[in-house]
Amino acid sequence: MSDEKISREQILGKITDLIELQEAISEHVGKKLCDHCESPEENWDEQRKSIMKMMKNLLGKYDVAKLLPKEDIGIGVLAVLSYLIQIQHAFVQVVVMIDMMQGESFGEIFLDSMNALSTKAHKELTILKTLTQQRIREKELSMDSFNAILRLEREIDEDNIVICRQISAISVEGETNYTCYIMRKIVSQIEHISDFIKDAAEIIVDI
């Protein structure tokens, strides 16, 4: 077994790399979950291939676990990695559910609030990356980034209630129950992603 040690700054750098890829995946998913992104250049098959390639690249980055110190910081980082894995898993589920829509135009059935939900989750990931980078530079942390994540997480919780009510009111000819079920599941996964981001942030501020 290797005795190679990894510093706190290096650990946070590895976490930043993981979050950066999650952020890119979120951007691709967000393009699909958008009520005005049905232009010809927005090809879901190509976006899906890019997402799966990034998912594959993520796996190797969890090798940082081999280098974690056998002390409190290692236990904390393990928890962060667990949350990032759960975010990744949630994105995979969203991709699968988009596939289950079988090419139906989101522009015809989607809601402005769904687009806003996806945008906020993406912003939350971006702020998590910024928060982690701030922790690399300084141990004494301004809480602005952390508080912004908490605010977005609360907003997403509130938006989730509104959008589920709106989904229930949607009528799509011949496929109402199926479509509404998939949309509710997508909303649920986005909310889970937001919760996992908040949970990871609560640990990162103490690393």
The reported pLDDT for the residue numbered 76 is: 95
Domain residue limits, the chain: 8-204
The reported pLDDT for the residue numbered 1 is: 43
* 3-state secondary structure labels for all residues of 122-144: HHHHHHHHHHHHHHHHCCCCCCH
The CB density around residue 103, as the number of other CB atoms within 10 Å, is 8
Average pLDDT over residues 165-191: 75
The reported pLDDT for the residue numbered 130 is: 94
Higher-pLDDT residue of 119, 172:
119
Report d(CA 6, CA 29) in Å as an integer.
33
Give Dmax over CA atoms of the chain in angstroms.
62
Average pLDDT over residues 176-195: 87
The reported pLDDT for the residue numbered 86 is: 97
Average pLDDT over residues 141-162: 90
Q: What CATH architecture applies to the domain 8-204?
A: Up-down Bundle (1.20)
Report percent pLDDT > 90 for the chain: 52
The reported pLDDT for the residue numbered 194 is: 97
Q: What's the pTM value of the predicted model, to 2 decimals?
A: 0.88
